[in-house]
Amino acid sequence: MFKDVDFKILKNILIETTEKYDKILNNYSSLNYELKLIKERDTITNVLSKQGFIEGLSTILNRAEKENKKVYVIIVNLDNFKYINDVYGHGLGDIFLNHIALILVDETQNLSGLVGRIGGDSFAIAVFDLDKSSVISLTEKILDRISDFNIKVGKTNIKTTASAGISVFPIYGKNVDELITQAEQAMYISKNKGRDTLTFYNEEIGKNFVFVEKYKTVLNFAVKNKSVIPYVQPIYDIKKGKIIGGEVLLRIKYDSRILPAGEFISVAERFGFIDDLESILIEKMSDSKFLEVFKGKYLFLNKTIKNANKAKKFKNDIEILLSLKEEDIYPVVEITESSFVEFFKILTDFISFSRKKGIKIALDDFGAGYASFSYLLNLDLDLLKIDGTLIKNIKRNRKSMSIVKAISQIAYDFGIKTIAEYVENKEILDEIEKIGITYAQGYYISKPVYYLKFKKIDR
């Protein structure tokens, strides 16, 4: 049997153990609370972290659904912030971000809402029960204040602008993920508009992003697997009555389909796939079967050149084109005329380099809206490809007819041969023959065909 003294000892041990247990629990709770605060707060700006913003937005949405209210989510992303980090260091970059966060908090402190940092230079704002005009006014004021803000380093004022995208619950986004994604998509539209502006999400933006993501997947596959297929659209010598060559066109084989360039070219150019695709196309042109198809023919290759690096890169590919001449193939590089508006110096240097190497140059889409006959005074060209919209309308539009006649006559005087695009019927072919156009290209001659079938085409 236990004595009274034994009970006292057991009681004291129990009390001591309980006190230690309570202390451990308190420490654990305190640590969890601190960890929760760290997770909920961004350590650089002290606004909500991404996780904290998501949790807070979820709570607001539950309230909005019960009270039948709207919630606007605004994504604010700094423009060219990477430059500040790269040039002035991440320390100054963090200071800059902290000041931006202060601006956002200051502008929203009297509103029922949240401010969070959800990425490197991306912030998110959620506002409850505000009308659209007030949201626009708020966002514009934030963008103006960011644009006005600067940090002085020596004699330099470090500053930038921001782009914003806005989504709204419950009109489009029904949950946290949808609202943030939609606001980000709208923000990217603001970037494309020229930055320092705002865009509201709509269904068209959503469809466009689905389209873009779909073709980014396709293009990644095409580059990785080199699933580029050369197609050829024949070019017809009107006087001689025969095919003299063809334009090599970019196609992609994906999921048992052959995709024409029109489906993916805008995404390829926007996200930097075009250089890789064109390089793979040129690589495919070195295949012996391809070389056999073009023996004794002109090979026209359309090339996208929009900066000095691309021009330099393609100068390396010129060596491949030169090797075609050894196979009795005559390469012609086509350059779109509209690109000369921004890149005249780069392209003129490239043309000079190519001509010295013995590569012929064609100016594509001449007369498409940017046309200037002064180009012909300054460029050393072999061929002019007359824009298809002029050719299509040549029988029913006197102005189109007059422009085509003028191009043909000037080209003749300059010793430049001409190619008419979009020759879709015999009437157009007969008309351009009367005018004196040298070559014809279009569906009446032939649709684009797989390169192995090109050799079988004969007129």
State the amino acid at position 25 in one-letter form.
L
pLDDT of residue 342: 58
Give 13-37 as a DSSP string. Answer: HHHHHHHHHHHHHHHHHHHHHHHHH
Task: Work out the angle at residue 383's Cα, subtended by the Cα atoms of residues 378 and 389, and round it to the nearest 5 degrees.
Answer: 100
pLDDT of residue 455: 80
How would you write the pLDDT of the chain (459 residues) with one tens digit per residue? 545 555 555 555 555 656 655 555 555 444 343 434 445 788 889 899 999 999 999 999 999 999 999 999 999 999 988 888 888 888 888 999 999 999 999 999 888 889 999 988 999 999 998 999 999 999 999 999 999 999 988 888 889 999 999 999 999 888 999 999 999 989 988 988 888 999 999 888 888 888 888 889 999 999 999 999 999 999 999 999 999 999 999 999 998 899 998 888 888 887 888 888 988 998 888 888 888 889 999 999 887 666 666 666 676 777 777 778 878 888 898 887 666 655 677 777 878 888 888 888 898 888 765 456 767 777 788 999 998 889 998 988 888 899 999 999 999 999 999 999 999 999 999 999 999 999 999 999 999 999 999 987 754
Domains, the chain, with CATH or none: 50-201 (3.30.70.270), 218-454 (3.20.20.450)
Helix axes of 50-67 and 176-193: crossing angle, nearest 10 degrees: 110
Distance CA 87, CA 303 (A): 34
Distance CA 455, CA 459 (A): 11
Distance CA 54, CA 233 (A): 53
SS3 state at 168? strand
State the amino acid at position 422 in one-letter form.
Y
- Contact, 310 vs 278, CB < 8 A? no
Give 115-140 as a DSSP string. Answer: EEE-SSSEEEEEEES--HHHHHHHHH
The number of beta carbons lying within 10 Å of the beta carbon of residue 441 is: 24
Determine the straight-line distance between the first and last CA of the chain, rounded to whole angstroms: 119
pLDDT of residue 113: 84
